[in-house]
Homo-oligomer: A and B are copies of this chain.
Amino acid sequence: MSVAIDSRLYLVTDRSRLDGRDFLGVVEDAIRGGVTMLQLREKDCSSREFYELGLALRELTRRYRVPFWINDRLDIALAVGADGLHIGQSDLPAAVAKKLLPPGMLLGVSAKTVEQAIAAEQAGADCLGSGAVYPTTTKVITRTLALDELRRIKAAVKIPVVAIGGITADNLAPLMACGIDGVAVVSAIMASPQPGAAARTILAAVDRHRQF
């Protein structure tokens, strides 16, 4: 695990889970509960709206000294001064993104296979997100990632690996047993009536089950 990134509890946003609650309020509560990295992922909004949400979360995460990532949109990451850009396999190719990012801005890549993981690391990725490890309602996925593949991915790269997909405090033990560095969570925090308490509980479970 890199000393630079504390990837134990990575909150990925989803405004559709708010059920009327205030977005920034939920995120701030979660950060106070122990979120160690935050990613803004919003698919159905204009570039302007994405940018404005990004500015607001940039301010919030700077205040709490939490690394801030933008999903997919390298331009928005640049525009708001994010700490990192996270891209999936249907976003810009990792090597292209790496070339466009300023030195020091981190690159995260989604990797569902060992091959994707190795390619991402070779392209300059600083962190991997692997999943979906469990079925999730967050996005349409074709298949879940077997624990064996997660273990192989972690063993194949030097950079931190975070699992994603339907993760809760109660089901993360077998994931952490694969040697991964942390978990990325959407619904377990965003849809919780008590985001801060949810974050605290998940982080405690991660720490209890980390292999190093």
Contacts and interface: CB of A to CB of B under 8 A. Distances in A.
A92 B72 contact: no
B79 A48 contact: no
A13 B93 CA distance: 23
Contacts of A49: 90
Quickly give the copy total for this chain: 2
Q: Among A51, A75, A93, A96, which residue has the most Cβ atoms of chain B within 10 A?
A: A75
A74 interface: yes
Contacts of A89: 48
A47 interface: yes
Interface of A: 46-49, 51, 72-76, 78-79, 87, 89-93, 96-97, 100
Top 8 A-B residue pairs of the complex, sorted by shortest distance between their CB atoms: A74-B75, A75-B75, A46-B90, A47-B91, A48-B90, A79-B96, A78-B100, A47-B92
Contacts of A96: 51, 79
Contacts of A87: 47
Contacts of A47: 72-73, 87, 90-92
A48 B91 CA distance: 4
B72 A100 contact: no
Contacts of A100: 75, 78-79
A46 B91 CA distance: 6
18 contacts: A47-B73, A47-B87, A47-B91, A47-B92, A48-B89, A48-B91, A48-B93, A51-B92, A51-B93, A51-B96, A73-B73, A73-B75, A74-B75, A74-B79, A78-B100, A79-B92, A79-B97, A79-B100
